[in-house]
Amino acid sequence: MQIIQPSTFHEFEQYYRLRYEMLRKPWHQPVGSERAEDDDQATHLIALDENTGEIMGGCRVHMETDTEAQLRFLSVAPKYQNKQVGRRLLQAVEEESRKLGAKELIVQAREYAKNFYKRNGFTEEYPTHLLFGEVQHYQMRKPLY
């Protein structure tokens, strides 16, 4: 597995397709809803299968404040789940966040992802928004030492 920043049209195409398939399509959202207005100001990371070149997972991180980075859109393709892909992406995000000057990393975690983040050192702070009227999110935080 290789973690890189997508740079080619094909890499970005795969990345946004995965984001749509995992985080929007199950809730019947339109194509295009997987993109965010500030995507051009974020650092994007993808995990690639070195044998096939296939995208295994992806996410993005941006500075929310001078000391706080925010992770968004972490997703792993179904056939690569439970194979440490999410964990490796998270480690890469933490490293990138430190380079950007962050002291803490926050995420708005979906209900089903809370345990993943807890296992990786995050603490749950409070419920935030309800996406699509049914997907509860929780702010979680991890100090970056």
- Chain segment 18-64, per-residue pLDDT in tens: 999 999 999 899 999 999 999 999 999 999 999 998 999 999 999 99
Residue 44's nearest CA partner among 71, 18, 6 is: 6
Q: Is residue 23 part of a domain?
A: yes
Q: What residues have CB less than 8 Å from 10, skipping those under 6 apart?
A: none
Q: Is residue 112 part of a domain?
A: no
Q: Residue 112: helix, strand or coil by DSSP? A: helix
Helices within the chain (DSSP H only): 9-23, 85-99, 114-119
Q: Is residue 130 part of a domain?
A: no
Residue 60's nearest CA partner among 3, 132, 119, 120 is: 3
Domain that holds residue 36: 2-106
What is the tens place of the pLDDT at every residue in 102-129? 999 999 999 899 999 999 999 999 989 8
pTM of the model: 0.92
Q: Is residue 60 part of a domain?
A: yes
